[in-house]
Amino acid sequence: MMTGTVIWLHADNLNPHCAALQAAPGAPAVFVWDEELLDEWKISLKRIVFIYECLLELPVSIRRGDVAAEVAAFAQAHSAQRILTMASPSPRHRLICQRIMQQMPKGSRLEVLRDPPFVETNARLDLKRFSRYWSAVKYDALRGKK
């Protein structure tokens, strides 16, 4: 019988204090390098190295390939019927969640958790470049901080 919990971490939230890791301390966690996305987006080596360095600071198994298949296989290998992950603004994330659940046994569930926002702002945000994002939110993020 599958009863455990696993955590699926993805590049849109590699926070070591994210809600998924906090909700199930010690649960096995997995990150999957998305081969299709890496090819499609032509992600730079600099960004890949940054992500990898973040992963080295997390309690996570690292895999590569088809994300949905790898996450489902990881969950099944750990006899887990509950998968926790973090929300993402990416439409691709929703599709991967659907594909994971298609591969999981009946009664399994995938819970998408959200961290509180880093900053509350009315600014128009450009999430493609950190420097543009920071320029838009730095006042709100630092307001009231000493």
pLDDT digits (tens, 9 = 90+) for 73-120: 999 999 999 999 999 988 899 999 999 999 999 999 999 999 887 787
**Residue 43's pLDDT is what?**
83
Give the ranges where 10-77 is alpha helix by DSSP (H). 19-23, 35-41, 45-56, 67-77
Q: Are residues 84 and 132 in the same domain?
A: no
What's this model's pTM, rounded to 2 decimal places? 0.82
Give the E-state strand segments of the chain in sequence order.
Answer: 4-9, 29-34, 61-65, 80-86, 109-113
Closest to 34 measured CA to CA, from 113, 100, 110: 100
Expressed as residue numbers, the domain containing 139 is 118-146
Banded pLDDT at 145 (limits 50, 70, 90):
low
Helix%, strand%, coil% for the chain, nearest 5: 40, 20, 35
Give the model's pLDDT for residue 1. 45
Judge if 58 and 94 occupy the same domain: yes
**Nearest-angstrom CA–CA distance, 51 and 106:** 33
How much is the average pLDDT of 35-64? Answer: 90
| Residues 81 and 27 grouped into a single domain | yes
Q: What is the pLDDT of residue 2?
A: 52
Residues 140 and 98 in one domain: no
Calculate mean pLDDT across residues 68-75.
97
Q: Bigger pLDDT: 50 or 90?
A: 50
What CATH number does the domain containing 98 carry?
A: 3.40.50.620
For residue 3, the model assigns a pLDDT of 64
Q: Specify whether 11 is located in the same domain as 27.
A: yes
Say yes or no: 108 and 125 in one domain: no
Tell me what pLDDT residue 119 has: 80
Say if residue 74 is in the same domain as residue 97.
yes
Domain match, 81 and 125 both: no
Residues 22 and 68 in one domain: yes
Residue 30 sits in the same domain as residue 92: yes
Of all residues in the chain, the percent with pLDDT exceeding 70 is: 95
Average pLDDT of every residue of the chain:
89
> What is the tally of structural domains in the chain?
2
Task: Kindly give the pairing relationship between strand 4-9 and strand 29-34.
Answer: parallel
Beta-carbon neighbour count of residue 139 at 10 Å? 11
Question: Residue 144 CB: number of other CB atoms within 10 A?
Answer: 6
Residues 20, 80 share a domain: yes
Q: Do 106 and 123 fall into the same domain?
A: no
CA dist 82 and 28 (Å) reads 11
